Structure 1
Amino acid sequence: MSRLKFINATIYGFGKWVDYSIDFTDELAIIYGENESGKSTIQRFILFMFFGLPPKQRAYYQPKQSGKMGGRLTVYDAEIGRYTIERQDAVSNGAAICYTEDGEEHDQTWLQERLSGMTLQTYQSIFSFSAIDLGLIKEMKQEDLSDILLSIGLTGSNTIHKLEKKLDSRMLELFRPTGKNPPINKQMEALDNRLDSLRSFQENEDTYRDKKIAINRLIEQVDQLQFSLQEEKAIQNRIEKQQQALPILNEYHQYTSSLASYPVELVFPEEGIERLEKLKEGLLPLQSQLSVLQDSESQYKLKLQYLKQERSEDACKEAEEILKEKESGLDSYKALNNSEAAMNKIEAQLEAEINRLNLGMSRKELEYITFPFHVEKKWLELKNNANQINAEKQQLELEEKQLKQERNYLLNQLQTLEEERLSEEQLQEYNRTINDFKENDLLQRLHSDANRKQQEWQRTKKKKTKSMNNLLVICVGLAFLAMMTAVFTDRVLFMYIMVAFLLFGSLQWGFRKYTMKEMERMMVGAEYSKAGGHQSEREKADAEHQLAAHYNNLREIETIEGKMKDNEINRLKLADAKQSLEDKKSRIHSLIANEYEIYPFLKQVEITYWPDLYHSLKHLLNLLKDYQQEEEKRSQLSSNLTEFESVVDSFFTKNNWEMNANYSFKNKLEILESFVGNELEIAGQINQYLGLLNDNYKKQQETKQKAKTYEKEIGILFQIADVETEDAYYKKAKQCNEKAEIEYLIKRTINQLQMIFTKQEWKQYVESNVDAPKLEVEYNETKKKIKHIEHEIDVSREELAAIQASIALMESSQSYSDSLYHFEMEKELLNKLAKEWSILKIAKELLVDTKRDYRDKYLPKVIEKTSIFFQELTGNTYCRVYAPNEDKPFQVELESGIRFSIDELSQGTIDQLYVALRLATSLILSEDHRLPFIIDDAFVHFDSVRTKRMMRILESIATEQQVIVFTCKTEVVESSKASTMIPLSNI
């Protein structure tokens, strides 16, 4: 799984939260709220978004102020980017719907794949812990730690530990070596009882066996009789079938004799009558259609002759040539009107613009004005330079005022800071106070350590003194025994032994006594006396505050002096800038005077408006130029239009058309268009009738061809039927139908026979000519045989029943077979229970091996990481953490090498050790699962210093993995500058 990070959450409704949004953008987010503010509900909402909830738990979080339960959680995945998870109680039973940035929609299976199968229990065990979990570490042993590592690493809960206990419990439930109640013990006892019962029935085994053999013989005899009975019944059934089929056989013979009266071969087209009728139906419409087409041809020819007489083709062509120039002539007419209108408009604009400028110039004077290409740029530069000079002047005046105000402010501030500086005597006094406090604090710690070591030495001294005295007493006793032995045995060797024991006991006692005195002297010499003076922590904090304020004043004085120097430099620069501005102003005035000489009208306009004036004058000159162009265009259009009108008048005269004096140019063109349209319409009608004649001819040919096809098909039908007339054709059709009917009846009788007999049997019966009396005799004989066999079967069955009744008395509830059956059942049950116990035993051994391997792999890494975190949390007070074993709990080690068990630590230090262990375990076991950490008020027993250290560790973890802290303590929020606080608003 790649790294995953929360971006934001939107709660539609969940518990007390309705329409609420939270931003998780930062890597370390602290969610702050008082008790009962809804922190746990938000934490549960995050888990609901990832893993869902059962219906009963969703009902618990159903909001009371809204009917909508659910929300959205947006996360960032390093592999696929950002996607949003949405769950609603009323949609798909709370199933997740995921939306990626490419617009695709995915289901809950896709989300589980992205989480690599992570479950709710796994997440809570690896990435989440709270203050409730802090007390678990005190009772933790090596085996418990191994269980926790294995459980967290593999299943995410204490399931593995529970499974091992469950296996042990189940194995004891099944079997105990000295027990009686477990199932396997009970089953072994029951099996022994069954075995004893079986032995009591073995005496009657021979009689039982003989009767069993007789039963088998009778059963075989009954089976043989049953077989003979089935054969005779089969013969009886065959005779009954023959009797049943006799009427059908008679009909078959009758139909075959009728079929023999028809010719063997009767040739007639398939569906011949229907085909002939269909061809006749198709031929009749074609004959009628051909008659209609011939009448239409005559009418088209008469209409075409009339239209050709009405047409005037030459005049139409000449009129069309004239109308080709119509659009051009009308365009010229419109253009002429437009040109005159444009000239009037331009002339009015010229007069209006000249009056608006009010420069005292006439239209004639405007024609002599010319502007070189660089005039616009020159006027614009003069305007900009003039405006810039004014702006710079105002800016310099403003800067001069600001510099004066800044200098006065800095002088006042410098004077105030000089007054607040501490004297040398005050500095020495405050430093002395801080040093005295540190010295006292160090001496107090050393004194406390010496007292603790003194107490440990007193306990050790008592043990060693007791051991020393005991050894001396033993040596004296042994010496006394050696002396008594030497007296009674009169052997010098035992006297030497006595002296050796006395010498060894005295030497060890004296040496240990001397060692203990030296240690006592060292302990007394190691005591630390308290310093003469004693400073309180408040005095030390006040001194540090005063010194910090003093050094801040010194730094501020240096800063202000630097600013004073910068102010003086800026004032000198300002004087130079004012002189430069005056020089620039003189040059601009010279250039403006030069423009007045070239264009005198500029004296009436301020320089700020010169660029606008340029554009206005340029516009006037363009209007004047446009007016001249329009005047030339109007003259050309008038000439072209006069020439075209003369051509039209000439056409009217040539064709003797009436020309009314009121006719306009457009009226004449409309008359020409009407004439050409009429001629074109006549030509279109002629072409239409020519086309109709052509289509009529084609249709006549097609109709004749289709009629020939039908006539040919009818002739083919007569040829197949071998007839020449239609009556003969219908007669032959009737004969073929009668023959087909007889053949159908023959087939029907054959099918009826095949339903009763096989193909070979019914053909045999047709050829054999079986009669009814013979069949009746055979049927009666078979009936007698069947009755005899049934009687023999009844006799055998009565004998079999008698023997079976005798055996039934032996096979009662206490019979041998029943006991044997129950013995086998009890044996099978014992095997089943033993197999289950073996499986549990193997599973237990595999689980123990797995725990051991997993512990050996991960436990050193976890303890090493825990030591690093714990050392940082305790400010290097403790440098190493040792894992618990069977005899000892967790131990921690000082830099001096002294170890302490967890029971000897304060509650705050124990909590720090647990938090360090949980963080280390989660980091080691989540190298492939970079999901955000969720910590819920796990720092309740931390002081402010250790809280800051804890937050520094979380800040370092947050660079690789997002961390979210839920807390009700303001100290946690204030201890981290790299985090973002998310306050929970009250609802």
Structure 2
Amino acid sequence: MKIQEIQIYGFGHLNNIEIKDLSDFQVFYGENEAGKSTIMAFIHGILFGFPTKQSSELRYEPKNGSSYGGKLRVFFDGHGLVSIERVRGKAAGVVTVSLEDGTIGDEELLKQLLGNMDKGLFQAIFSFNIHGLQNIHQMKGEELGRFLFSTGTLGTETLAKTEVELQKELEARFKPSGRKPVVNEKLKAVHELSSELKKAAAKNQEYEKLSTDKERIYNEIKNISYSLQEVKNEVEKLNEWQKIHSLVKEERWISTEIELLGEDPFPARGIERLEKLNQLIYPYNAQISSLMDRIAQLKKEIASIQPKRRILEDETQLLAAIDQIPIYEQLLLEKQQSELKLVDLEEKISILNERLHLPLNEEEIFTINTNIYMKNQVEQVSRKKQKLLEVKQELEEKFREEQNSLEDIEEKVHTVETKVISAQERARLEKLVNDESEKGKIEFELTAVRDKVEYYQHSSEQDRKASAKINKQKQMQFITIGAILLILSLYGIYSQQWVLVFIGVLGSVLIVVFLGNNRSHLNGSEINQTINQLLEKEKKLVQKLESYKNSNISAIQEKLEQDNRLKEQLQLLKVKLEQQQIQYEKVIRKFEEWESEESENKERLVKLCSELNIPEYIANSFLLEAFQLIEQYKQVGREKRHLLARLENIKLEQSKITDRISFYSKEYLVDQGNDLSKTAYLLRDKLKEEHGKFIKSQEKQGKLDDLEADLSQMKQEQAHLISERKKLFEEADVVNEETFYELGNKVEKKIKLVERLADIKKQLQYSFLHEIEQERLLHIHNVDEQISQFNDKIKTLSSKLIELQEEKAATNYQIQILEEGGSYSELLHYFKQKMFELEEAAKEWSVYCLAQDILSQTIEKYKNTHLPRMLAKAEEYLSFLTKKQYQRIHLQKSGTGFLIERSDHTLFEANELSQATTEQVYVSIRLALATTLYEKYRFPIIIDDSFVNFDAGRTKKVMELLTTLKCNQILFFTCHTHMLPYFQPENVQHLHKGNVEVIS
């Protein structure tokens, strides 16, 4: 493939550009924004389609409103010079492909020429720029090796990116020693739940026993099911054997008979052929004798024939008149049919009048409008009426349902409300419960009161005196302390230290309270009063404590809890009641909408009744039927009018035919009949008779010659058939016809047996009993008895299976009760939920793992099959570019990287090389990929300033390497003047920056 001419109508800032006679190594030189990238994008766009508006690529649509697109003239091996034109159209543009032989095609033909190459692969293999080398500069470590390997396989770094992304996805989900990945977290949670589940199960011995019973029952059901299936299979085989045993026995008998008949030579279809020859030979004798008699008779007839000529002058006119007879008969038949149809139409009109029962005559009915628009309106109104009736039925049913649901919920709300405890009763019960909590306090308080009473009663007078003396001393001490605190308070007020003031006041208050208490102790009358008060308080506390003993607190608490549940149930029912009321109101609104639609449709129906002259009472039920009857009435009336006109035409045509036949009958016939067909027949017969006499003598002479020739031919054929019969006897090795028939019957019997055997085998091939089973069953004499025994066994096993299934259901129900009754079921549910989440996460991880494995296998297959040939060419290019300093490129034993071997056999990873050497490796791989694995395409290699970072020596070597690529056209784009000396001046196309805005 070679691009010879570029013609740009409008692309970016380039307009009406034409570049012809492109060379095998074509250079495009221009400053920045001169249009180099635009031309590259133009070539990609013409070959593979313009970028869509959703694409991130630039579309290069002209800003000045000129035509968008252009043309390439490309030479293809086997097709010659091809014109590819693409202009603005659908998303990717409209393409027209013109071949040298005049063939015009579109996108499909272009894909065939390009070998179904897509744009992405083309840019990855045959079109590269400086960005690919810049990627190398940005990479570190093993990323560079993976990038070079991916470039060597797909032409881009897609493979390397895919491998890294897959590894990240796998590590994000699971690591053998990780904690944060999803699968690791879920595994840990499952292990913890499993431990808790085992502890809960260990506490439930009954659950374990039921689980054991469940397993036992399951195994018994499994064994019985297997036995039952085996017995059923055996019964099925015996039933099948009853169907085919006669065929099997017949097959074995026929096989024995075929062996006994043996093999005898006999011609194929021998008897049939012999009988056919006899049938042909015997008639020849009679035919030859008959021919000889006919020849003699014919000679006498020829001598006696004397032709006469008559009425032949009017032959043409006479025959024309006679040929009108079928038309006359057809007209007569049509007349009869029309008259019958006319009677039928009159009957139909009468029936339609009766069905319509309208006070209208035929002419008035014809004036009724029955066009398509009117028919459509009638159908719409009828369908609408029917639909409204159906909607009404649905709404009435829905209304009943919603009303019943509403009443049901209201009844439930009323029932629950009657069961709820009143507020006063609930307050009383709650007070009793609260008082129960006060019982312990009362008992403690009663003990304290009794202790105080005992203390005061047993205190002696001396103790009180001693206490009074001690209290007096303490009183003096507290007075002293109070004076100090008073002074401290005054000082705090003076110095505005409010903390001192607060301490002084608080201390004074405490001293006053303490002195007051001491004084009460010193007063004896007050002590007696206190004892009396304590005794009275003790009595009240004992009475209160006795009242608590008579109340049933546990029953009250149960009643309050039940009332709480009823209140929750009542709240839920009220919410449902509100929702049901909303649904009920929706149905009411739909009824209102239905009434509006029904009224509107009623108005349309009344209007149609007026236009169609149909009474409203008929239209309410039979509008569409009445309209259809009117249509039928008009159609039948039109047919009646057409029939009446046709009957008049038939009468005129019949009269013309009758007049012509009567004329010729008077002219040529002696006896004239009244039957027109008979007259025509006599005329035709008379004409044939006279015309036949004229040519009869010549025909008989020709017939005589034919008969003589036939006689000679028959004699020859008879001799040939006799010879063929003799050969047939020789082929069967017999001497007479009787022996031949005996041998033939024997062979025919064998053929029938073989055919019957094939038919039996064809029938037996649909049986599922193989030969071993058939041989086994062949020795069974009483099949019905065995089937009966097996059926009894099936009944026994089925009964046992039903019992076990019932036992299994009971056991499952008990297990379900245990699981629902405690924490074990909650743990089990939570455990299963976590197991499900773990399985889902594991499935997701396995998908990525499988994708990574498929990618690795693909890479390994590529490394072992396709990559060695590409690497051999890449080593050749690298050795040339580096002046044999680096000679070999090795694959990593594991992974997707390369090792580069220097001339001293030192191996380097890609990241250990200098940037320039790494770029040379990249260029070698890209060029080797295009010239080896994709060599059959031979597309142009497009390079956009990919070697600007090379020094003069490396640049010279890479240019020399490019000139050796003879199978691919090179399109080189550059903006550097120091590159131009490497090219022939005639191969350099100079691009100049225009005055318009440049897009590049």
Pair in the same fold by TM > 0.5: no
Structure possessing the higher radius of gyration over alpha carbons: 1
